[in-house]
Chain A
Amino acid sequence: MKTYHDIAGDGGSDIAGQVAGREAQLRARLASVAHTLAIVSGKGGVGKSTVTANLAAALAMQGHRVGVLDADLNGPCMARMLGVQGQTLKLGADGVEPALGPLGVKLASMDLLLPHTAAPVEWHAPAPGHSHAWRGAIEATALGEFLADTVWGELDFLLVDLPPGPERVAGLHGVLPQCDGLIVVTIPSQVAQLTVQRSIVLARRLKARLLGIVENMSGYLCPHCGSGQRLFPVEGESQRAVPGVPVLAIIPFDPQLARCCDQGVPIVLAHQATPAGRAYMELAAQVGARRSAREDHS
């Protein structure tokens, strides 16, 4: 009797062919994107989306063409942070036109598809009570659609803002194996450091390229006297050191950051001269240098 591998095809559906076709569409779409970078974190609440929004704006200020994909499908906030919440995605001849943020930063986000800010992401399903069986699959497909169906055009950088959790690195690798690098965001707490290490170990096992670490909320400056204060019990070189992974930026906490996020204006645009604003500009210069380095190399 024939076995599975003795039979070519699947009898007419060509499921494997359909999946391969979508993967080819994704590759074709991203052919005009020079660098795709994922912003990841081991745990939530470290300010990953804030880093993404400000890095995008800082890169744009330095003359790069930038797009952002808000890959946090269930908790999207990038539309708010980039001040495009009132915009809608539009259907063009070649796909979905992204929203346009400050300095022409392009954004695709689930937020722009939801009817109001309190609308949760719920899926039609014949088995809604057992969503654990299929939610991962539908989210991976949805992420692939946002990547492949958005008209990104020519970009120097596409930043993919992932939801928190080390497993998201593996999830992205399945959808986007050609991702050029990961930026890991953390804060100076030992708990955050533990989960960062998990993300890094997983990324290395997947042979994903680690660009480096961004330490967020690394102390704050007193707005009255200007003196530096700690936010966490242990901060410093030894706390953030991960062998073989460079520290790209150390960003101090600034109450203006939260205000800027709420107002949809990246701090690099509103308060570029602040320590946080300068740190983001330096981060963008480091990330932007990778583009120049690749162009010099090629």
Chain B
Amino acid sequence: MKFLCVACDEAMTFVDTGEASPGDAFTAVFRCPRCGARTALLANPWETQLVRSLGVALGGRAAPHEPLELVRERLVESRLLWTEEAERRLERVPEFVRPTVRSGVERHARERGCCEVTCEVMDEVKSNMGM
């Protein structure tokens, strides 16, 4: 999709997106580089979902693609992925308490809004427990 300033016959450029939360439909603001006129694209929920389903970022990518980024962000229920380092560290925990530690760390990670479990997340849990 491209935007044209009809008065200037000039292609408009992307300025900003007004996306606020996963439940929202997206807004994209474009500006004419010649006259400065702005226009906003207000997408409906289906258009929003279709764009999101392509796994692309409006306005361009600020960060590299994360592994299984779309799957992990968009699944309603999913396991948290552990980094190999964090998983190795968990293996040093005695086996009989490992499931409890795993679920405790994952609960903390979810509360923090983390989409993966790293050693830093494990350190936070340890520190919260006063260890």
Contact = CB atoms under 8 A, between A and B. Distances in A.
Interface of A: 1-2, 4, 7-15, 18-19, 21-22, 25, 88-92, 95-97, 110, 112-115, 119, 121-127, 130, 133-135, 137-138, 141-142, 144-146, 149
Contact of B4 (A7, A115, A124, A126): A7
Contacts of A133: 46, 49-50
15 contacts: A1-B9, A7-B11, A9-B2, A10-B1, A10-B2, A11-B3, A11-B14, A12-B14, A113-B71, A125-B45, A134-B49, A137-B53, A142-B70, A144-B55, A146-B71
Interface of B: 1-4, 6, 9, 11-14, 22-25, 30, 44-46, 48-50, 52-61, 65, 67-79, 81-84, 87, 116
Given A96-B81, A135-B53, 5 more contacts: A2-B11, A89-B81, A91-B81, A114-B79, A146-B68
Contacts, number: 153
A115 B79 contact: yes
B81 to A, nearest CB: 5
B12 A11 contact: yes
**Interface of A, helix, strand, loop or mixed by DSSP:** mixed
Contacts of A134: 46, 49-50, 52-53
A110 B52 CA distance: 19
B78 A115 contact: yes
Given A10-B2, A126-B49, A133-B50, A22 B55 contact: yes
A124 B74 contact: yes
**Interface centre among A1, A11, A22, by most B CB within 10 Å?**
A11
